A and B are shown apart, each in its own frame.
Chain A
Amino acid sequence: MDKLQIALIIGSVLYLAVIFWLLKKNKMSIRYSLLWLASGAVMLLFACFPYLAKVLRAITGVQVVSNLIFLLAIVFMLIILLSLTSALSALVDKVKRLTQANALLEERVRRLEKQQQD
């Protein structure tokens, strides 16, 4: 095992540990953690068995192993960003509905209070 490999393994383990820590502290919901955990698992896998990356390189026909790794990393990030945008859009819609329902209720309360006073 060379120095680089050890550093990569430590890095991936730390990365996974941070995700688990966030989960434990309830600062990330399990739903959104799955993609991040998957990315960490793949990173750890490649760090432990570099041979895997070489096999994958041969299969896909990518010229250099590092390019394959970068490609994988970018694909993961794109997927995560997409899922975040979709989650954000859903959230915006929920906040909108909540705001509207709240405003309608507030108006009703105001009207009823006025009726009671009269």
Chain B
Amino acid sequence: MKILVIIPCYNEEENLERVVARLQKEAPQVDFLIVNDCSTDSSAAICKANGWRFLDLPSNLGIGGGVQSGYQYAVENDYDITVQMDGDGQHDPAYLEAVLAPVIAGELDMAVGSRFITKEGFQTSFMRRLGIRIISATIRLVCGAKVRDVTSGFRACGKKLTAFYARSYAQDYPEPEAIVSAVLNGYRVGEVPVVMQERMGGVSSINLLRSAYYMIKVPLALLVYRLSIRRKAARK
């Protein structure tokens, strides 16, 4: 079984080598692909110097467009399962097996790694948790899926869903919207417990004002998105 770990990266020169070292130690059997979303730091140079497999986007697309190019790579190179994992060290490769298991077993088309099931490890700020709750409730409302850690970028996808994402992947608020689009197109989405860490170095792109803005904007976007598409029958 060919497995590809997609690591989106924007200005992660401080974390990249540690993240990859940990991944190679925990899961030497999987391939990984770094998607450098036009970083302004030395991320690309680090990838090149280490001889890693990486995509070098010539312009900044944001996380949605970046991850989608990873899915396109997976389709072109015939991978069976793709895993998304952040490049900032929040996601511990030790839990790779946990997110992979339900997809390998064929129980789910996408397994999202959730930090809110066992409530261990890094739980993020109160404001962000509140926002995540609101978005989670909205997702339940628009498509019925019960996902708690909706912004988690630690997720495994089966082959069919990978092909679907390669064709169409949410761009504006990719993590929550991708869940909704998968469910409405008949894919099975579920959660598995993982423990997350606080990012190792660098600066997160999310602050207080942004998270307040985010928790109003995203539910609205999801509602509009729901109104604009039709639910498709479940896939076998």
- What is the interface of chain A, defined by CB distance below 8 A to chain B? 95-96, 99-100, 102-104, 106-107
Contact = CB atoms under 8 A, between A and B. Distances in A.
B65 A96 contact: yes
Nearest to A92: B171
B215 interface: no
Nearest to B36: A103
B58 A99 contact: yes
Contacts of B73: 104, 107
Contacts of B53: 107
21 contacts: A96-B61, A99-B57, A99-B58, A99-B61, A99-B65, A100-B69, A102-B58, A103-B35, A103-B56, A103-B58, A104-B69, A104-B72, A104-B73, A104-B76, A106-B55, A106-B56, A106-B58, A107-B53, A107-B54, A107-B56, A107-B73
Complex A-B, nearest 8 residue pairs according to Cβ-Cβ distance, in ascending order? A100-B69, A103-B55, A103-B57, A96-B65, A99-B59, A107-B55, A103-B69, A99-B57
A100 B57 contact: yes
A4 to B, nearest CB: 46
B68 interface: yes
B130 to A, nearest CB: 31
Nearest to B55: A103
Interface in B95-116: none
Contacts of A99: 57-59, 61, 65, 69
Contacts of B65: 96, 99-100
Nearest to A108: B76
Nearest to B59: A99
A88 to B, nearest CB: 13
Contacts of A102: 58
A68 B188 CA distance: 55
B210 to A, nearest CB: 21
Contacts of B35: 103
Contacts of A95: 59
